[in-house]
Amino acid sequence: MTLEYDGTGFVGWQIQPDGRSIQGELAAALTTLLREPVTPVGSGRTDAGVHAAAQVAHFSTDSDQPTASIRKSLNGLLPPDVAVLDVADAPEGFHARYSAIHKRYRYRISHGKVALERNRVWTLFLPVDEEPMIEASQHLIGDHCFGAFCKQDPVPDSTACQIRHCRWERSGRELVFEIEANRFLRHMVRILIGTLVEVGWGRRHPDQIPELLAAGDRGRAGQTAPPQGLCLVEVTYP
């Protein structure tokens, strides 16, 4: 199934001991609807406060309900901040996480205070120079180890990722960053954004990015940008 959600009121995708999770809300709705225990598996674990426009999840069931009926009924059971966009029969062996070949994220930055979009953007009051940010981001494209740009607790088994493309675009008062890769590490996009913003403030030079990639030292990279500006916008499968 493909779904969208507003991550503002959630502890993230994954079920946690305390707090609302998207996986938990879906599991409860599916179990009620299908009258059997069901726990959906997502393509990735978005963090608390992070949104999704097209998260993908899979689940198994013995029910023979039509997929269109499942989608309609789920949307009646789920809270307003989660919506199921599509439900379809999956091919044999499909796995929402391990079958994915690319994911694309979008991060939005607003210059100056906003009200209506406050839970969708990172608001900056200090102007940034976007040209060096564009230059710096081009160093990310290709195969690299992103140890400097991921959460180190726990330490990931591998920090290797292949970035297919990344770009900055201006839209009115906003700067929008899009990045697509074969995989992402925990907090990776948010740490990249925090570091690139420091480039835009003149606190770093664009040529520092290759040095950070080579060193793999999280302590040398920038801050972790807040979660509300981040959205999972696409998951690609073969």
Give the C-alpha separation, 182 to 217, whole Å.
22
pLDDT at 171: 87
In eight-state DSSP terms, residue 43 is S
Report, as an integer, the average pLDDT of 73-99. 97
pLDDT band at 126 (very low <50, low <70, confident <90, very high): very high
Buried b (16+ CB within 10 A) or exposed e, 46-85: bbbbbbbebbbbebeeeeeeeeeebbebbeebbeebbebe
Residue 152 has pLDDT above 90, yes or no: no
Domains (ranges, CATH) in the chain? 2-86 (3.30.70.580), 102-236 (3.30.70.660)
Report, as an integer, the average pLDDT of 211-238. 96
pLDDT, tens only, 5-14: 999 999 999 9
Identify residue 57 by its one-letter amino acid code: A
pLDDT at 170: 93
pLDDT band at 92 (very low <50, low <70, confident <90, very high): very high
Residue 177 has pLDDT above 90, yes or no: yes
pLDDT at 26: 98
Taking CA atoms, 224 is separated from 62, 153, 218, in Å, by: 43, 14, 11
Task: Please name the residues in contact with 52: beta carbons below 8 A apart, sequence gap of 6 or more.
Answer: 3, 4, 5, 7, 22, 46, 231, 232, 233
Which member of 47, 86, 143, 217 is catalytic?
47
Number of Cβ atoms within 10 Å of the Cβ of 184: 21
Give the C-alpha separation, 151 to 194, whole Å.
13
Give the C-alpha separation, 126 to 179, whole Å.
24
pLDDT above 70 coverage of the chain, percent? 100
Give the C-alpha separation, 197 to 123, whole Å.
12
Active site residue 47: yes
Give the C-alpha separation, 225 to 208, whole Å.
18
pLDDT at 154: 78
pLDDT at 157: 86
pLDDT at 235: 98
Buried b (16+ CB within 10 A) or exposed e, 132-170: bbbebbebbbeebbbbbbbbbeeeeeebebebeebebee
Instruction: Kindly report whether the peptide bond that precedes residue 238 is cis, defined as omega within 30 degrees of 0.
Output: no
pLDDT, tens only, 24-62: 999 999 999 999 999 999 999 999 999 999 999 999 999
Beta bridge partners of 154: none
